[in-house]
Chain A
Amino acid sequence: MISLLTYAVIILGIIAIVQLARVFELTGELKGRKEWEISEKDNSTQANLWLWFGIILFILFGWLVVEYGDSAQPNGSLHGVAYDNLLMVNFAIVVFVFLLVNAVLFYFAWKYKRDANRVPEYFTHSTKLEMIWTIVPSIVMAGIIIYGILFWYETIMTKPSEDAIAIELYSKQFDWTARYGGKDNQVGSANVRLIEGANFLGIDVEDPSSKDDIIIKGEFHIPVNKEISFQLRSQDVLHGAYMPNFRMQINTVPGQMTRFHFTPNKTTKQQREELDNPDFHYVLLCNKICGSAHYNMQMNIIVETEEEYNKWLGEQQDFMAQVPELFENNNEKLMAEKK
């Protein structure tokens, strides 16, 4: 199909050029012709082309739907199920309107071509008709608005629960770092002004909750069916944290903290089995233009069972263990201040 289309396009292009040349000649020949008088033949050719265009467009639309209709990334989050339903309902309405209105348009464009026997109706307005197409869209819109806002209210406007796992996603040109709250499940405070040497996230070492933070690069793990509460920071410019599988996205803003939360509902392994694709990965990618390598700012996410997750987490070193000297310095400083 693809290569066929490729050839079709090339052939169309060639036909275009040949036509162009021919048409030039014709123009010369037909000097007698008046450009503002459209001949009956031309007019009905154009009208027929509308019909053909409509038919071909709808067939190609059908083909796209069959081939690519369900190509959204496989869902892996709890609210994603409701999200996909909402999207489907909206698409159903939208596709219906698209097909209906375009079909009527192409049909009229074909049907009402100039006809010497037809006297066009002097039809200037009809309050009834206009009311219909003000009120019907209003009702449909009201439905869409209410359904959408209810969903928004349930997913985004809610607060994460107290025991949700706290993780910070930190963005910079051009990679991501995850930081877990550790034993106290609290991510220590931080500011890019504190960045120095090994403390590349600008973590505030004086904040007691930062000692047990766990810093992860490369890929990060989360447990299935547990709520995860993310806070997001940026070091330099705007970035966008986008996890298509979890139906989640939020920008990261330098100088500000943004948040989102969700509950994964399928492990990576389950997903691989269901899709029959051993290479499947959940990914975090950047979706706000941020510079030359914006297109490749990614981090894999592993969703696993709680046991696997705890085991993995247990193997990670916490921040104080990774860079003890930061905390030593800090202790000395504190002592000095006390004296």
Chain B
Amino acid sequence: MGSLLKNRGWVIGALAVAILFPFVLPNAYFLHILTLAFIWMIAVYGLNLLAGYTGYLSLAHAGFFAIGAYALGLLTVKTEINYWLALVLACLITSAIGAVVGLVALRTREHFFAIYTLCVGYIIYLVIDKWDGLTGGVRGLIGIPVPSNIGPLSFETPLSQYYLVLFFLIFTVLVMYRIVHSLTGRTFIAIRNSEDLAQTIGISTMKNKLLVFVLSTFFAGLAGALYASFIRFIGPDIGYITIIFDLLTYLLVGGIGTLAGPIVGTFLIVAVSQSLQFLQDYRMLIFGPLLTLLIIFYPRGIVGAYYDWRMKHTAKKVKRTRKEQRYFESETVDAEKKVKEG
């Protein structure tokens, strides 16, 4: 609760900027980039719940992103069912596959888990790439429709899509906030802290880990589905390994295991790489070392560093008031002594 109040200024500010941005800066290109960034943020939130709050670094999430995208694409293109039904189904299909993968993957820990999920991610990519009959293989899937109208609301224009994606981002953040600030979230954090300890205070770790895994694939799937209907063309490369490393970079820079991290990191990296576009792939020469330094000195990213700074700040304040109190108390004691002596 306290943290919400303390951060309320930030939340309202960010929300106002996001809502007003298209009016202040009516630029189609920026709008496009920002919408995409919002979509990535949703996926990063999914990853954050699992890697940041529960301590299981999954490298399969580009694969789940692609599953969400292809599920929506195939359902809308090949079966022509209602878009919103397809969106729900896409998320559910991704979660169901997530549950199956999780059941096996969560029997491993730490780097074994990372390696295992990396393989799963690559297998998902290969399946999409090679299963021509279903996915269209390297040719990709074209003609994915925009979201269908809800009453008077239509999603034909980029602006309306921007707000739609923003809506889902806000939904994601709200759900994440509520999970993290609940007994369920505390349970996840206890697992991250020490699985042995968590078990001895009565937490069924497997059940909870599976829950987080499925949840995080759900959000990866949601992001993928939104991507498909925003870009309207998808190829196997959206499930490729580089995507998961992008997502991970966003998360690490922003702050793993923090609520604002995914937004801060994604926005920052997207903005910086846009402005360094003239450097093409040489950008990585700058990003690589910067990222390494950041992880060494600020393992909880920019947001984590901000929290630490604020924590120290208030700790100092507490100390100062305590010192003053002690000083005051000793003075009164002295005074009492004098009274007694006198």
Q: Is chain B a partner of chain A in the same complex?
A: no
**A contact residues vs B (CB 8 Å cutoff):** none
